[in-house]
Amino acid sequence: MGFPHTPHERETLVLSQHFGVQEAIGLEGWRKRGGYAALEKALRMEPAEIVAIVKESGLRGRGGAGFPTGVKWSFMKPGDGKPHYLCCNADESEPGTFKDREIMRWTPHSLVEGCAIGAYAIGAAVAYVYIRGEYTEALDKMNAACKEAYAAGILGTNAMGTGKTVHVYVHKGAGAYICGEETALMNSLEGRRGNPRIKPPFPAVSGLFGQPTTINNVETLVAVPHILNNGADWYTKFGRPENPKSTGTKLFSVCGNIQKPGNYEVAMGFPFKDFLYDLCGGPLKGRNFKAIIPGGISVPIQTREEAENSPMDYEGFVANGTMLGSGGVIVIDDAQNLVKQIARAARFFAHESCAQCTQCREGTAWTTKILERIVAGDGTHEDLDTLLDIGEQMTGKTICVLSDSCATPVASGLAKFRGDFEALIKRKKVYMVPAQVA
Amino acid sequence: MSNGPMSTTKKEMGDTRAPGDAPHGLHEHVPHSPVFAGARRRELDELLTRYPTKMAVLLPALWMVQEERGWVSAEAMAEVAELLDLTPAYVKGVVSFYTMYHQHPVAKHFIQVCTTSPCNVCGAEDVVKALLKHTGCEELGVQSPDGRYQVIEVECLGACGFTTPLMINEKFIESVTPDTVPELLATLN
């Protein structure tokens, strides 16, 4: 739905059905809408049963990687004598993505419930919700929701009267994109610099405080209560019949040069063309879409044709030259200087690099420098080769994928819109005028 | 000593301030009174029960310092270090990693504007220009002559559908355009 919250008839409202409803923010209003029924049910089930249902539903991580949630949960072995932890990744900082923010500001109790179920399912007594520091409203709403849930006996050492212990604590970040990377998030939560850790060991073996840990995105966790309430079968029905690998609904954040930016929830596999032109109202008057980035700035750029052919699910985007990522749709139209925007994206990564790995620290900085000089009209054709060379050195060689993410828009931009780069180089400034021959 | 020990060292090494930092000359030496006394101490003690290590309370503790004092001074870092069994150098290392902690005092109205690509294609740079013009700030990161305003560009604020978003201190404001800048500034006291 755009903003204000008027849903489009072709949306499938599950997670976002109460967006814009003031009453749904508080506990009373939330309970009236069926809130905490799933948690009550879950706490009376065996953790393994919950994991099995989530596995069956086909729910996949909504933060970007798309890893099957049930499988991730099954890596945690309840009863191994170690404290387990659940981290909810609410550090949403992928440019173009603002869905988790809307979930937390309108339906904070849905996240508290999702965290509580998730924690119980993986044998954890504590779930930490790591929210980026800039999300002041989301932080206030989540803190208030937790407080209400504790006061009502939903959380605590006797959660919903079952004698089970479930804590949900909000943890405020302090401004670092990299803390959205799961191992960096754990370091940050522990009170360290947000440097990603080398994997293995994977978080399920040694994560937060060195204990078995699962990290899930906000949108992933809020889908879980709906799956428990309605059953795995109900969830698998959303999606393209020919692609059972992507199920459920997905929130897409839409921004950039488009008529109706906002958060839209559609069933997996929805045609991207209809999404852009019908739901979001198409391009601004007198302009045309030029490039589309469908999954946050880290995924490859699509041409308009590629976008118009894409079904909106994990496999559909991969088949059309990009990835679903976090579902942050950035639309760039023909009035923009695309190279300038790629340079701006590179500057973002250079700023956000934690600087642990040389390839990333140097690569993001040089990529930015070269792109900015091309934009300024000082580029050469060799620069384009250098960019690709640097990009290759930045891919697959570092602890985390921030470095790869910086190389992606450059490589895909050069592959699909090389003419834009060359046009800037052709109008290269001439500093020395050859002497006139008499 | 007019500056904290850290900033003196920095000065000797050349000015490595981030654009958001205030000029060093603004560091008036005020004796450090503890942040964690009374209610704040109780708040900290309550937080300590939520985590298995003391170190995990570092980020929340630094937030409390900034809420109380407006910035995180070297003395405050030392106080936090003492309370959490850390070294001041370690705390400084963590503070300097995160962009939201101010290591120098900032203007009364500290304005952070998002200019990352999604906002950029919707004209965020014009919002920055309008803010500089109407606040009287000469350039990004430099306080206005009256010390009331300071404008910096920041990376993605995560509200890309509501261009252009900005933060004024802890307040998040959506959908700012160059035209709405004057009325926005008029709401600040």
Q: Which residues of A touch B99 (CB under 8 A)?
A: 174-176
- What is the distance in angstroms between the Cα of B133 and the nearest Cα belonging to chain A? 23
Within 10 A of B163 (CB to CB), how many other CB atoms are there?
22
Please provide the DSSP assignment of B11-45 as one string.
HHT-----TTSPPGGG----PPPPSSSTHHHHHHH
Please provide the DSSP assignment of A117-144 as one string.
HHHHHTTEEEEEEEE-TT-HHHHHHHHH
- The pLDDT of residue A432: 58
- Percent of all residues in chain A with a pLDDT value above 90, rounded to a whole number: 94
Residues 6+ apart with CB under 8 A from A292: A276, A301, A302, A303, A304, A306, A307, A329, A330, A331, A332
Region of residue A269 (left: phi > 0; alpha: psi -120 to 50; beta: else): left
Q: How confident is the model at residue B7 (pLDDT cuts 50, 70, 90)?
A: very low
CB-based contact A174 B100, cutoff 8 Å = yes
CB-based contact B163 A261, cutoff 8 Å = yes
Please provide the DSSP assignment of A290-327 as one string.
EEEEBTBTTSPPEEHHHHHH-EESHHHHHTTTS--TT-
CA atoms within 13 A of residue A15's CA, in its CB half-sphere? 31
Q: How confident is the model at residue A5 (pLDDT cuts 50, 70, 90)?
A: low
- What is the distance in angstroms between the Cα of B123 and the nearest Cα belonging to chain A? 10
- What is the distance in angstroms between the Cα of B165 and the nearest Cα belonging to chain A? 11
A75-92 per-position pLDDT tens digit? 998 789 999 999 999 999
CB-based contact A344 B117, cutoff 8 Å = yes
Which pTM value belongs to this model?
A: 0.93
Task: Report the residue of chain B nearest A97, measured CA to CA.
Answer: B158
Q: Write the single-letter amino acid at A387.
A: L
Provide mean pLDDT across the span A23-27: 97
CB-based contact A134 B157, cutoff 8 Å = yes
Give yes or no for residue B3 having a pLDDT over 90. Answer: no
CB-based contact B172 A134, cutoff 8 Å = yes
A180-194 per-position pLDDT tens digit? 999 999 999 999 999
- Whole-angstrom CA distances from A267 to A48, A59, A187, A216 are 27, 12, 35, 20
Minimal Cβ distance to B116: which of A188, A253, A348: A348
Q: How confident is the model at residue A429 (pLDDT cuts 50, 70, 90)?
A: low
Minimal Cβ distance to A190: which of B55, B120, B167: B55
Q: Which residues of A touch B161 (CB under 8 A)?
A: 3, 98, 253-255, 261-263
Q: Which residues of A touch B128 (CB under 8 A)?
A: none
Total residue length of chain B: 189
Please provide the DSSP assignment of A90-119 as one string.
E---STT--HHHHHHHH-HHHHHHHHHHHH
B133-159 per-position pLDDT tens digit? 999 999 999 999 999 999 999 999 999
Residue corresponding to tokens 């001439």: A430
Answer whether A408's CB lies under 8 Å from A334's CB.
no
Q: Which residues of B touch A132 (CB under 8 A)?
A: 158
Closest CA to A170 of A153, A192, A148: A148
Q: Which residues of A touch B160 (CB under 8 A)?
A: 95-98, 253, 255-256, 261, 328, 330
Mean residue pLDDT of chain B comes to 88
Is cis: bond before A201, omega within 30 of 0? yes
Q: Which residues of B touch A352 (CB under 8 A)?
A: 155
Give yes or no for residue B11 having a pLDDT over 50. Answer: no
Percent helix, strand, coil in chain B, to 5, is: 45, 10, 50
- What is the distance in angstroms between the Cα of A53 and the nearest Cα belonging to chain B? 30
Q: How confident is the model at residue A299 (pLDDT cuts 50, 70, 90)?
A: very high
- The pLDDT of residue B14: 42
Q: Which residues of A touch B172 (CB under 8 A)?
A: 134-137
Provide mean pLDDT across the span A215-242: 97
Give yes or no for residue B13 having a pLDDT over 80. Answer: no
CB-based contact B50 A344, cutoff 8 Å = no
Provide mean pLDDT across the span A386-410: 97
Closest CA to A60 of A268, A263, A201: A268
Bridge partners (DSSP) listed for residue B166: B113, B173
Q: How confident is the model at residue A428 (pLDDT cuts 50, 70, 90)?
A: low
Cα dihedral A359/A360/A363/A368 (nearest 10): 180
- The pLDDT of residue B152: 97
- Most A CBs within 10 Å: which of B156, B170, B175, as the mutation test of the A interface? B156
Closest CA to A33 of A44, A25, A43: A25
- The pLDDT of residue B155: 95
d(CA B178, CA B5): 41
Give yes or no for residue B27 having a pLDDT over 70. Answer: no
Give yes or no for residue A141 having a pLDDT over 70. Answer: yes
Q: Write the single-letter amino acid at A230.
A: N
DSSP 8-state secondary structure symbol assigned to residue A409: H
Region of residue A321 (left: phi > 0; alpha: psi -120 to 50; beta: else): left
d(CA A208, CA A190): 7
The alpha carbon dihedral of A388, A392, A398, A400 has a sign of positive
- Most A CBs within 10 Å: which of B59, B64, B100, as the mutation test of the A interface? B59
- The pLDDT of residue A437: 63
Total residue length of chain A: 438
Please provide the DSSP assignment of A357-378 as one string.
SHHHHHHHHHHHHHHHHHHTT-
**Computed over its alpha carbons, how large is the radius of gyration of chain A?**
23
Task: Report the residue of chain A nearest B81, measured CA to CA.
Answer: A191
- Find the angle CA(A188)-CA(A103)-CA(A329) to the nearest 5 degrees: 85
CB-based contact B98 A344, cutoff 8 Å = no
Mean residue pLDDT of chain A comes to 95
Three-state SS string across A37-63, please? HHHHHHHCCCHHHHHHHHHHHCCECCC
Give yes or no for residue B19 having a pLDDT over 90. Answer: no
ipTM computed for the complex: 0.93
Q: Which residues of B touch A351 (CB under 8 A)?
A: 155
> Comparing A423 with B189, which gets the higher pLDDT?
A423
Q: Which residues of B touch A340 (CB under 8 A)?
A: 120
Say which range, A418-427, B17-26, B151-160, has the weakest mean pLDDT.
B17-26
- The pLDDT of residue A170: 98
- What is the distance in angstroms between the Cα of A179 and the nearest Cα belonging to chain B? 10
- Percent of all residues in chain A with a pLDDT value above 70, rounded to a whole number: 96
Q: Which residues of A touch B173 (CB under 8 A)?
A: none
What beta strand segments (E) does chain B contain?
109-114, 149-154, 166-168, 171-173
CB-based contact B160 A98, cutoff 8 Å = yes
As to burial, measured by CB atoms within 10 angstroms (0-12 exposed, 13-18 middle, 19+ buried), residue B38 is exposed
Q: Which residues of A touch B120 (CB under 8 A)?
A: 340-341, 344
Provide mean pLDDT across the span A383-399: 97
Minimal Cβ distance to B158: which of A97, A188, A297: A97
- The pLDDT of residue A119: 98
CB-based contact B162 A345, cutoff 8 Å = no
d(CA B100, CA A61): 28
Answer whether B84's CB lies under 8 Å from B51's CB.
no
CB-based contact B121 A332, cutoff 8 Å = yes
- Percent of all residues in chain B with a pLDDT value above 70, rounded to a whole number: 84
- What is the distance in angstroms between the Cα of B13 and the nearest Cα belonging to chain A? 21
Q: How confident is the model at residue B6 (pLDDT cuts 50, 70, 90)?
A: very low
CB-based contact B98 A94, cutoff 8 Å = no
How many interface pairs between A and B have CB atoms less than 8 angstroms apart? 144
B38-83 per-position pLDDT tens digit? 999 999 999 999 999 999 999 999 999 999 999 999 999 999 999 9
CB-based contact A132 B158, cutoff 8 Å = yes
CA B138 to chain centre: 19
- The pLDDT of residue A6: 83
CB-based contact A330 B160, cutoff 8 Å = yes
Residues 6+ apart with CB under 8 A from A237: A247
Residues 6+ apart with CB under 8 A from A186: A87, A197, A203, A207, A208, A213, A215
- What is the distance in angstroms between the Cα of B90 and the nearest Cα belonging to chain A? 9
Instruction: List the A249-256 sheet strands across, edge first.
Output: A262-267, A249-256, A328-333, A289-293, A302-303
Is cis: bond before A4, omega within 30 of 0? yes
- The pLDDT of residue B182: 97
